[in-house]
Amino acid sequence: MADLRHLRQDFPILDRTVNGKRLVYLDSAATTQKPRSVIEAIDHYYRTSNANVHRGAYTLSVEATEAYENARAKVADFIGATDSDELVFTRGTTTGINFVAYGWGLNHLTEGDRIVLTGMEHHSNIVPWQLVARHTGAELAYLPINEDYEVSLDDLDTVVNSRTKIVALSGMSNVTGAFGPVAAVSAAARSVGAITVVDAAQAVPHAPLDVALLGVDFLAFSGHKMLGPTGTGGLWGRRDRLEEMEPTEGGGEMISDVGLYESTWAPIPHKFEAGTPNIAGAVGLGAAVDYLSKVGMSEVRSHERALTKYGIEQLSAVPHLTIHGPADLDNRGGVISFQLADVHPHDIATILDQEGVAVRAGHHCAKPLMRSLGVPATARASFYLYNTPEDVDALVAALHHALELFGVS
Amino acid sequence: MADLRHLRQDFPILDRTVNGKRLVYLDSAATTQKPRSVIEAIDHYYRTSNANVHRGAYTLSVEATEAYENARAKVADFIGATDSDELVFTRGTTTGINFVAYGWGLNHLTEGDRIVLTGMEHHSNIVPWQLVARHTGAELAYLPINEDYEVSLDDLDTVVNSRTKIVALSGMSNVTGAFGPVAAVSAAARSVGAITVVDAAQAVPHAPLDVALLGVDFLAFSGHKMLGPTGTGGLWGRRDRLEEMEPTEGGGEMISDVGLYESTWAPIPHKFEAGTPNIAGAVGLGAAVDYLSKVGMSEVRSHERALTKYGIEQLSAVPHLTIHGPADLDNRGGVISFQLADVHPHDIATILDQEGVAVRAGHHCAKPLMRSLGVPATARASFYLYNTPEDVDALVAALHHALELFGVS
Amino acid sequence: MSLEELYREVILDHYRNPRRRDALAAPTAHAEGHNPLCGDEITIDVAVSDGTLTEIAVSGQGCSISQASASMMAEAVTGKTLEEVDTLTGQFKSMMGIGDGADPIDPERPGATLGDLEALQGVKKFPVRIKCADLGWTTLEEALSSD
Amino acid sequence: MSLEELYREVILDHYRNPRRRDALAAPTAHAEGHNPLCGDEITIDVAVSDGTLTEIAVSGQGCSISQASASMMAEAVTGKTLEEVDTLTGQFKSMMGIGDGADPIDPERPGATLGDLEALQGVKKFPVRIKCADLGWTTLEEALSSD
Ligand SMILES: Cc1ncc(COP(=O)(O)O)c(C=O)c1O
Ligand SMILES: Cc1ncc(COP(=O)(O)O)c(C=O)c1O
């Protein structure tokens, strides 16, 4: 396992205790902890350069604009975008997907057109399409998951049919950890002239990714899931797609001219950034990307792969424990959902919390997937670069305690 | 003048120099500086309690949820809302107005309906309505400004006619400082069954405000213009209006149930908060509101009123200087836009910057208003609680230098 | 805060063997409750006649606390007058530290008024789980008010 | 960074008395430039015949730098071949520290190649204003490429 243990000291929160125990944070799929460099970048911004960006002819505003646009360049570079105009700052993955749904979907879909999703999507990649389908008369169709928890490609050619205009899928499930078949699906989409939208909330933070090679049209991700501040994220889009997309928020900064009755838009990416942006957030996200780049995304991936291997092994040895997720480590990331006997996931979370172990319990904003799994909720442990095998051990020990409390043996 | 000089030490950035001079920050209408308590609240959140909110059964997540929801209660209370469910966290005023335009406007407007705006609106309170008008076939109508830079009520009863469904106006212009006639206009709106939407970006930060007394339906404001973090804001709406409003972003947290083809929504305010919110931002905004409450909003207002009086007096004594804004101090806030001879506003900003004085130059995201004023751009000085008469003096001295450089006497 | 105090045997028993699950032949009211924060669900049918809650059927899914609380509640309210149900609901909420406090209980001896339901008092020390314990009761209130 | 270096007399003169404002009788190309960051605007008409920029008309509004730069540019390019205009544009951008550097100038003696335009070299020390100085040139490039 790539030993990244020395990184833990960069994360102040990992020093705290919970219920008298060392904090064992296993909920990075929900949001990640922040290294000192990110916290300090925000702090430094407010103490030295805070001003509104653009249209400012004074030093502070120039500094703030540079900090903001430099962050854009860094984040664009991090995902392999050669043109930083293709990177729109958003509040998170959810906002990014909604922008595409409303901004591109609304004016490209008509009655009877098809939007294809998969059976493992997060609500963020379902609800916006339902809303847009309702507005346009388009229909939704799903690529289901198979018994290996992977998106089934059996009916790819019939599901992605000639009426299909948009295919939207996750790069990695936040429930099962399964990678989405982005390459196969986007090829099918291209062959019928449809665009591909990737929900990369779990993909961008955990492995090297290069949008220039992916062959997709849009890709949305969240800054707060990759060491960055809350309220940040990015939407990458191919230049021509962004240019044919309508803005979904109107206001300052996104305009070229405003008349009483008509307005014209600024060039991309500003067209999609109405109003004062989350400047300190972007600066913090830039620092997060610096941190990740220094560690190296291949290191992050191999660390998590090894930790997932260890986690699956150890959890599989816990009696009455079932894991919902692919066995193939090359086809999954560091998210492990499980059931433990008849102990409800919320009870698991409460019991683990007493031992300082933080896991998430619930439907993980993926109710349709939960229905396929046949469970209303799971408990979920998810890893990041700061986790260690000892964290897995603490989890396993606490699960044994849960079995005891529930009198299961 | 309410002497708030002692507050300056709470703002670390005010210690910095710009081009070798003391920073004289006169651009608070664009964004405000942050007191130490706000910067530290964000820092503290990330160091001790960072986790995703809601659906978390572990300690950290409960703490984060409490911090987030406590911030909501504080902000709601700050604007006089008795029911904190009526306060939706947004990214800023722009997002708030867009939510109302798309969420309420789209499903309440039909062809031929009217949306009434005023001649002194910010692009944020124009462009969303233009977009929604285009989608619905509604028309826009304007209450113009008069020679005192105030919204003219002469034709109120004919402009706000029986087809009017929405009236949207600013509580205070970010260009002229003029207060908007919210009471008169909302009464007219009510009498024809229209709703009133207030752009309170410049109103909430600078004077006491009580939504329970205002008699309006929606009110949007920005956290970053009231000492809070960038990327924060609030949309207040009357409960019944929020309930009849559609969500404009779909995703996690805002749902009650999600099926493959249909979903149902969570109760307000969560219905409007799709995805992971800007948790640290909300916490910082809560700290900002604590700070302002401690100072007292009446104090803030009287300090700014006195400073504006002094500013207008001193600026009026500068040769070749014209102020665009009402003379009546009871009808205006601490924003002073001006022209100086034939020195272009950008040149003014550049020259002032050499003296450490930060003012904004441009159209201030209010192009229609600039056209009424007959100028393409103005220079603008705007005040907040940390400004002093010495700041005005530094501004005036630098303006004299500008006249010299341009050889005007 | 001890977990043993939370997961009392009687709670696990109600969780595993929930009472009053059988559908009613002739319900007079119905409500569905949902805890959006965790996803727990409770569905309630009641039959009320002459001011008395004569029968109740509970179904749902969720954590041990929400399901056990609803099950115990079902036992406790059957055969009671609506007024008694109302008082009991108030007393339960008092024990949880929520509600309007109009129906206080003796905090030293909750069992004296609440019987088996006393077992749920450990929940109070786990604030996130209070909503779980309360879900059945809130759903019952809704069913009775929709009547 | 001295303001006196930025606001040279020749710049203020071009700002106040912009050259080549008269509309062209028969323009062969047209472009409108806009600096979204500050709102400055430049509109250009040109007449090109036999590879030579025979006439130009400039209008617009904005800061002294953008307007003076466009005015000086108009003077400088009139009567030049398109190739010469292209080289001059490259040299101007080199002086501003932008562009591809294909047309270098002697940094010690910019006036040797740029003449009056040399007065704009102070702009380089005010990074926000570089876009202002460049606006006219970019607009001219657009007009010529739309040809
Ligand atoms: C009057 C007015 N309305 C709206 C806005 C937009 O606010 P924000 O940029 O925070 O969305 C501003 C600030 O620029 C403003 O001054
Ligand atoms: C796969 C996936 N998509 C989308 C989201 C939504 O991200 P955000 O809440 O940052 O908008 C998440 C995170 O919850 C996720 O895991």
Of residues C4, C12, C126, nearest to A350 (C-beta): C126
Report the distance separating Cα A240 and Cα A138, nearest Å. Answer: 23
Chain C positions touching B267 (Cβ under 8 A) are 36
Q: For chains B and D, tell me whether 3 or more CB atom pairs sit within 8 A of each other.
A: yes
What domains can be seen in chain B, in order of their start residue? 39-293 (3.40.640.10), 297-405 (3.90.1150.10)
- Looking at the predicted structure, is the pLDDT value of residue C1 above 60? no
Report the distance separating Cα A281 and Cα B284, nearest Å. Answer: 12
Out of B185, B216, B323, B365, the active site residue is B365
Please report the pLDDT score of residue A256 as a whole number. 84
Mutate to test the interface with A, among D6, D43, D66, D128 (most CBs of A within 10 A): D128
Please report the pLDDT score of residue C147 as a whole number. 52
Chain D positions touching B406 (Cβ under 8 A) are 7, 12
Paired residues of D48 in beta bridges: D53
Instruction: Tell me if chain C has a CB within 8 Å of the CB of A351.
Output: yes
Q: Which DSSP string do the residues of A103-172 spell out, in sequence order?
A: IIITTT--TT-EEEEETT--GGGTHHHHHHHHHHT-EEEEE-B-TTSSBP-TTHHHHS-TTEEEEEEESB
Chain B contacts in chain D segment 96-135 (CB below 8 A): 126, 128-129, 132
* C15-28 tens-digit pLDDT: 999 999 988 989 99
Mean pLDDT computed over A215-224: 98
Report the distance separating Cα A32 and Cα B44, nearest Å. Answer: 16
Task: Determine the residue type at A305.
Answer: R
Please report the pLDDT score of residue D91 as a whole number. 92
pLDDT confidence band for D40 (50 / 70 / 90):
confident
Calculated CA dihedral for residues D91, D93, D96, D100, nearest 10 degrees = -100
Spacing of C-alpha A66 from chain mean position: 26
Would you call C145 helix, strand, or coil by DSSP?
helix
Which-ligand-closest: CA of A118?
Answer: 2
CB atoms A344 and C12 under 8 Å:
no
What is the fold of D3-146? Sufe protein. Chain: A (3.90.1010)
The segments of chain B whose pLDDT lies below 70 read: 1-2
Chain C positions touching A405 (Cβ under 8 A) are 3-4, 7
- Looking at the predicted structure, is the pLDDT value of residue D116 above 90? no
Residue A124 alpha carbon to ligand 2 centre in Å:
6
Calculated CA dihedral for residues D123, D126, D127, D128, nearest 10 degrees = -100
pLDDT confidence band for C101 (50 / 70 / 90):
confident
Spatial strand order of the sheet with B321-324 comes to B321-324, B335-340, B378-382, B360-362
Mean pLDDT computed over A7-20: 96
Residue A151 alpha carbon to ligand 1 centre in Å:
44
Report the distance separating Cα C6 and Cα A171, nearest Å. Answer: 40
Cβ–Cβ contacts within 10 Å for residue D25, how many? 9
Answer whether C62's CB lies under 8 Å from C129's CB: no
The chain C residue lying nearest A355, using CA atoms, is C3
Instruction: Tell me if chain B has a CB within 8 Å of the CB of A9.
Output: no
Indicate the range of A207-211, A287-291, B69-73, D125-129 predicted with least confidence.
Answer: D125-129
Phi and psi, residue B123, nearest 5°: -50, -30
Mean pLDDT computed over A59-67: 93
Phi and psi, residue B111, nearest 5°: -45, 130
CB of A387 within 6 A of ligand 2: the answer is no
The interaxial angle of helices D64-77 and D82-96, nearest 10 deg, is 150
Report the distance separating Cα D120 and Cα D72, nearest Å. Answer: 10
Answer whether B213's CB lies under 8 Å from B361's CB: no
Report the distance separating Cα A319 and Cα B62, nearest Å. Answer: 29
Please report the pLDDT score of residue A393 as a whole number. 98
Q: For chains C and D, tell me whether 3 or more CB atom pairs sit within 8 A of each other.
A: no
Please report the pLDDT score of residue D1 as a whole number. 56
Please confirm whether the linkage preceding B269 is cis (ω < 30° from 0). yes
Which-ligand-closest: CA of B94?
Answer: 1
Output the pTM of the full model.
Answer: 0.95
Of residues D39, D64, D132, nearest to B377 (C-beta): D39
Quick one: residue A259, left, alpha or beta (phi over 0 = left, psi -120 to 50 = alpha)? Answer: beta
Chain C contacts in chain B segment 213-242 (CB below 8 A): none
Q: For chains D and A, tell me whether 3 or more CB atom pairs sit within 8 A of each other.
A: yes
The chain B residue lying nearest C127, using CA atoms, is B62
Report the distance separating Cα C117 and Cα C111, nearest Å. Answer: 7
Report the distance separating Cα A329 and Cα A154, nearest Å. Answer: 22
* B92-140 tens-digit pLDDT: 999 999 999 999 999 999 999 999 999 999 999 999 999 999 999 999 9
Answer whether B220's CB lies under 8 Å from B100's CB: yes
Kindly list the domain boundaries of chain D, sorted by start residue.
3-146
- Looking at the predicted structure, is the pLDDT value of residue D107 above 90? no
Please report the pLDDT score of residue B26 as a whole number. 98
Encoding tokens for residue A97? 């997907």
Chain A positions touching B353 (Cβ under 8 A) are 57-59
- Of B89, B174, B378, the one to substitute when testing ligand 1's pocket (max ligand atoms within 8 A of C-beta) is B174
pLDDT confidence band for D125 (50 / 70 / 90):
confident
ipTM score assigned to the predicted complex: 0.94
Comparison of pLDDT for D107 and A307, the residue scoring more: A307
Comparison of pLDDT for D10 and D112, the residue scoring more: D10
Q: Measure Cα distances from A21 to A284, A356, A361, B252, B358 in Å.
A: 30, 5, 20, 31, 50
* C73-89 tens-digit pLDDT: 999 999 999 999 999 99
Report the distance separating Cα D129 and Cα A56, nearest Å. Answer: 11
The chain C residue lying nearest A342, using CA atoms, is C16
Q: Which atom of ligand 2 is nearest to the CA of A170?
A: 1
Report the distance separating Cα A56 and Cα D128, nearest Å. Answer: 8
Please report the pLDDT score of residue B364 as a whole number. 94
Comparison of pLDDT for B17 and D37, the residue scoring more: B17
Mean pLDDT computed over D32-36: 85
Mean pLDDT computed over A225-249: 97
Mean pLDDT computed over C100-114: 76
Chain C contacts in chain B segment 46-65 (CB below 8 A): 54-57, 62
| Chain C: closest CA distance from residue B273 (Å) | 14
CB atoms B58 and A260 under 8 Å:
no
- Looking at the predicted structure, is the pLDDT value of residue C106 above 80? no
Indicate the range of A93-97, A313-317, B214-218, D95-99 predicted with least confidence.
Answer: D95-99
Answer whether D105's CB lies under 8 Å from D91's CB: yes
Cβ–Cβ contacts within 10 Å for residue A59, how many? 22
CB atoms B354 and D3 under 8 Å:
yes
Average per-residue pLDDT for chain A: 96
Report the distance separating Cα C71 and Cα C22, nearest Å. Answer: 12
Select from A86, A380, A83 the least CA-distant residue to A220.
A86
Report the distance separating Cα B163 and Cα B166, nearest Å. Answer: 9
CB atoms D61 and B376 under 8 Å:
yes
Answer whether A196's CB lies under 8 Å from A97's CB: no
Instruction: Tell me if chain C has a CB within 8 Å of the CB of B252.
Output: no
| Chain B: closest CA distance from residue D62 (Å) | 7
Answer whether B106's CB lies under 8 Å from B260's CB: no
Encoding tokens for residue D72? 């000086």
Select from C69, C88, C68 the least CA-distant residue to C77.
C88
Please report the pLDDT score of residue C55 as a whole number. 96
Q: Which atom of ligand 1 is nearest to the CA of B222?
A: 10
Residue D65 alpha carbon to ligand 1 centre in Å:
29
